[in-house]
Amino acid sequence: MHRIQLDKDIKPLSEFRSKVSSFMDQVHKTKRPLLITQKGKSSAVLLDVSEYELLLEKLELLEDIQISKSQLEKGKGISHNQARNDILIRINK
């Protein structure tokens, strides 16, 4: 995901309401999120759908890595050779 550009991607709710369509176009074109403020404080983030899906995929991968790391620390891992043999057996069935 592209980083927010502070001078372009933070808009108050009142301006967002009046220009929803143009801000949606901006998010789709730039792939950057739009931060919407309310009463001077951050309130919501508008993301392009493909960027949101990519963010979820990255989060799921990080969670899988953390689970794997935890399992290895508990001694629940298998050797490279065992993993290789298990995969070859499954492929040859």
Supply the pTM of this predicted model.
0.71
Longest CA–CA separation in the chain, Å = 63
Task: Check residue 2 and report its DSSP letter.
Answer: P
User: What is 10-47's CATH topology?
Assistant: YefM-like fold (3.40.1620)
The CB-based long-range contact list for 27-32 (8 Å cut-off, 24+ gap) reads 30/2, 31/1, 31/2, 32/1, 32/2, 32/3, 32/4, 32/5, 32/8
Every domain of the chain with CATH number 3.40.1620 lies at 10-47
Integer-rounded Cα Rg, in Å, for the chain is 22
How does pLDDT run across 24-64, given as a tens digit for each residue? 999 999 999 999 999 999 999 999 999 999 999 999 999 99
Alpha carbon distance 2, 71 (integer Å): 33
